[in-house]
Structure 1
Amino acid sequence: MSSAVLDDLKVHVKLKLSALWASLMFCYIYGDYFGLYVPGQLKGMLAGQGPIGPVSQGALVITSVLLAVPGVMVFLSLVLPPKVNRWLNIVLGAFYIVVMLLTMPGAWSFYIVLGVVEIAMGGLTIWYAWSWPRQTLA
């Protein structure tokens, strides 16, 4: 019987960051979708209540930007130069952790569960960006 070690591929930090942002997007989408099942939510939407108060073009633009940034980061994490990439991931990872911490109080349990997962992914984003591998110059 052999004790062969399973082969593994070293995944570059850019791919890890991109995957974390994609995963975060799935949690956002599921959270918003499940939120439609909260009693009274659809009635409030039909009455003009949005995610951050009364529905207006400005409120929807702010919400759109807030939700678009993680989607854009899926791409930017792959193509930006390392120095910019690293700091953008650290700053935005921290920002989205704060957003979740501000929106979780009083939320339904499903939202709390997704929020904890999103905070963990934000923490991993910060960790991977902070500990970005260095090359030694000859």
Structure 2
Amino acid sequence: MPVRAKLAAAWTSFMFLYIYVDYLALYKPGFVDDILAGTVHEFDTGPTFVAIALTLIAVPILMILLSVTLPARVNRTINLVVATLYIPVSIFNAAGESWTYSYFYGLSIGLELLLLAFVLRSAWTWPRRTASPAPLAAGPDSEPLRRPQ
């Protein structure tokens, strides 16, 4: 499978997980009341909070597109940088949570970190072009194409 497709699939999975964790948090008793009162966790839900929240979800969404459209070298670098930056973001998302829901946030953060590790591994081990004695047809990720059998 091409590296670009793996990265796009990982970012898609990350994005859905990220969104559904926030969605499922709405089912916690008192959470909606806090939102209606203007706070999420310890933060006021003003324009700054909303802009930061949009940015945090827009980046993985854009990474889906960028993973399939950017040139390989830039793609690799961008994926390594963004996945590295999202590790502390994912961990910080559990800040201020009660121990009652620690298993929920522990599971979600664990899954997010596994997906980010997959992105890092896939981008880090992205195959480089190598000189070969005979020219080979190459796919979009610089991987030799295989003949169907």
Structures share fold, TM-score greater than 0.5: yes
1:132, 1:123 → 2: CA distance? 14
Counterpart of 1:126 in 2: which secondary structure? helix
- Find the counterpart in structure 1 of residue 55 from structure 2: 65
Aligned-CA RMSD value? 1.5
1:38-53 aligned within 5 A: 38-50=28-40, 53=43
- Gapped runs of 5+ residues in structure 2? 133-149
Q: How far off its partner does 1:36 sit?
A: 0.3
1:51, distance to aligned residue in structure 2 (A): 5.7
SS in 1 for 2:49: helix
1:30 matched to 2:30? The reply is: no
**1:15 alignment partner in structure 2:** 5
Structure 1 runs of 4+ aligned residues shifted over 4 Å read: none
Q: Give the counterpart of 1:133 among 127, 135, 143.
A: 127
Q: In the TM superposition, what is the alpha-carbon distance from 1:104 to its structure 2 partner?
A: 2.7
| Structure 2 counterpart of 1:119 | 113
Contact 2:42 2:96 in 1 (8 A): no
Unaligned runs of 5+ in 1: 1-10
Report the TM-score, using the length of structure 1 for normalisation. Answer: 0.86
| 2: CA distance, partners of 1:110 / 1:31 | 9
Assess if the C-alpha contact under 8 Å between 1:36 and 1:42 holds in 2: yes
Query: 1:50-101: per-residue Cα shift (whole Å, max 9, x none)?
Result: 3661011122111101111101111110000111110110111111111112
TM-score when normalising by structure 2: 0.80
Q: State whether residues 52 and 59 of structure 1, in contact with CA within 8 Å, keep that contact through their aligned partners in structure 2.
A: no
Query: Do the aligned partners of residues 84 and 63 (structure 1) sit closer, same or farther apart at CA in structure 2, a change above 3 Å counting?
Result: same
Question: How many aligned residue pairs are there?
Answer: 128
Aligned partner of residue 137 in structure 1, secondary structure: coil
Identity across matched positions, percent: 38
